[in-house]
Structures are given as C-alpha cells and as structure tokens.
C-alpha cells in the first residue's frame, strides 16, 4: 500500500489545480484537503441521514460527470424488528452504486459547504474564498486520485494509496476492466454514528 505523500498524486494535484483552475495550493496541502473532504462529507451526511431512505453526497465535474460519492443508508434489524438496526456508510467511484431512491446532496446543497469551511477552519486554520473554491479544490483531488488509480492499475496485483486514518483507495484490473474501491478509515467512520451501530 502506497502512502499518499509518496505517490505522484500530490504533485499532480497541485500542478493540475493551478494549470486548470488557477488555484495555487502546494503539493504538501494534499493531505489536508483529503482530510477535509472525508471529514466534512461524513459530518454532512451524519446530519442529513434519515432512516426513511438513503442519502448520497455526490462529487461531480462541471459537466455533471460523476467522480465519486458517499452513501449513508439505514439497515433495519432483520432478526428482531424491536432492536436497533445499523448504518451502512460507503464511498464509491461508480455512479451505478448510488441507490436510485437516494436523496442527492453536494457542496451546493443547503448549508453543506459550511461543513467544509468549518473543518478547514477548526483543524487547519484555513479559510476558503467561497463555495466555488471549495467545490473545485475538493472535487479536483478526488479526480486526481481516481486518475492515478486508473493509470496505475494492473492485472497482476492490486494497487492502492492510503492516507492513514482518513482513506484507502485501491484498484485492480480484471478481464480488462479497472475495479476501484474507496474506503474511509479511523475516526472518519465514527462521524455519522448515533445510538445505532454503524457498518462500513
């Protein structure tokens, strides 16, 4: 498993973000942005989750092409309806993994962007210029990670990248198709927890 800081992702992110979007962030800022993404997304979903239907936080390009998403869904206790169920919390690179009955939210929804501003301010003393900056800076990193997985995946072994305590992303080629995963780690998984158990 490759550490995020030891891959080409930070430099690719910094260079691409500046060349394509004119945002000047150092490669060393990559881990901070990743932490903000997973922490803020989890906090937002934790606030908007409901037992009635799934809720999905979506990251997409300006042309609406899907980049990644996170889904929170309540799973009733099938063995004993009188007992609490559990929350399933998953991230995905695939649009088809988003439940058709899910409520879709993103950084522009309601006050969702405030979670990103809050995490950046409280954990890193960083202030985003505006909602558009948060959108571009966060989605561009996920897009960079996704491209790295696609470019480096092989049919001989699974490759992966990790930011310890935040996420693990992996990829492998099977029958000519790249299969990718994205899993939150550590305290991130606990941010949407309530009295019911959570499954990730």
Which of 147-169 are b and which e, b meaning 16 or more Cβ less than 10 Å from the residue's Cβ? Answer: ebbeeebeeeeebbbbbeebbbb
pLDDT given for residue 192 in this prediction:
65
pLDDT given for residue 170 in this prediction:
98
Mean per-residue pLDDT pooled into runs of 10, the chain (200 residues): 97 97 96 97 92 95 92 86 84 97 89 92 93 94 98 94 96 95 84 50
The total number of structural domains in the chain stands at 1
Cα→Cα distances 143→17, 146, 150, Å? 11, 5, 11
pLDDT given for residue 191 in this prediction:
67
Containing structural domain, residue 164: 2-199
Q: How far apart are CA 54 and CA 186, in angstroms?
A: 23
pLDDT given for residue 110 in this prediction:
67
pTM higher than 0.75: yes
């Amino acid at each position: 498993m490759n550490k995020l800081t030891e891959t080409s992702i930070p430099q690719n992110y910094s260079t691409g973000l500046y060349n394509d979007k004119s945002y000047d962030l150092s490669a060393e800022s990559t881990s901070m942005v990743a932490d903000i993404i997973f922490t803020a997304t989890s906090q937002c979903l934790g606030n908007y989750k409901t037992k009635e239907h799934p809720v999905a936080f979506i990251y997409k390009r300006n042309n609406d092409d899907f980049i990644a998403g996170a889904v929170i869904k309540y799973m009733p206790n099938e063995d004993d309806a009188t007992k609490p169920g559990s929350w399933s919390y998953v991230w995905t690179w695939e649009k088809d993994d988003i439940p058709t009955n899910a409520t879709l939210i993103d950084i522009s929804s309601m006050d969702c962007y405030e979670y990103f501003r809050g995490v950046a301010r409280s954990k890193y003393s960083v202030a985003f210029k505006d909602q558009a900056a948060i959108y571009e800076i966060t989605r561009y990193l996920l897009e960079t990670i996704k491209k790295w997985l696609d470019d480096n995946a092989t049919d001989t072994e699974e490759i992966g990248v990790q930011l310890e305590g935040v996420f693990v992303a992996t990829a492998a080629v099977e029958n000519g198709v790249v299969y990718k995963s994205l899993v939150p780690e550590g305290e991130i998984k606990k941010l949407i927890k309530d009295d019911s158990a959570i499954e990730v």
